[in-house]
Amino acid sequence: METQKVKTCFTITFTNEQYVHAKAYVEDMKKHPQRVFWQGKKNKSDDELVIEQIAHRILSGFYNDDPFKAGKHILRMDSMVNA
């Protein structure tokens, strides 16, 4: 199977509740420095980690229990084929 690389930028919206939840998750992960969570995250600020966690949950469908509601979180997506 041949793979391709595409760079995509998402503009998302999230609630304060989602932010607080993601912040608590990142704080919990700090107690477990050997977890897979930390791969590729060296030198990232807490804010970057929190926003990445929110984006991950939105794009993975954790907040999308209704297909028509799913689109409300993703405001825009820009993709570039030659990444």
Compute CA 73 distance to the chain's CA centroid, rounded to the nearest angstrom: 12
Is residue 74 in a domain? Answer: yes
- 6 falls in which pLDDT band (50, 70, 90)? confident
- State how far the alpha carbon of 23 is from the alpha carbons of 31, 50, 54, 63, 65, in Å: 13, 5, 9, 16, 22
Could you tell me the residue range of the domain that residue 60 belongs to? 7-80
pLDDT at 17 over 70: yes
Pairwise pLDDT comparison (16 vs 74), residue with the higher score = 16
User: Is 60 part of a structural domain of the chain?
Assistant: yes
Token pair recorded at residue 14: 């999230």
Read off the DSSP letter of residue 81. Answer: S
Asked whether residue 1 is domain-assigned, the answer is no
Is residue 2 one of the residues assigned to a domain?
no
What is the number of structural domains in the chain? 1
Q: pTM of the predicted model, to two decimals?
A: 0.72
According to the model, what pLDDT value does residue 46 have? 94
Q: What is the pLDDT of residues 24-83, one digit of tens each?
A: 999 999 999 888 888 888 889 999 999 999 988 887 776 666 666 666 777 777 777 765
Q: Considering the domain boundaries, does residue 73 fall inside one?
A: yes
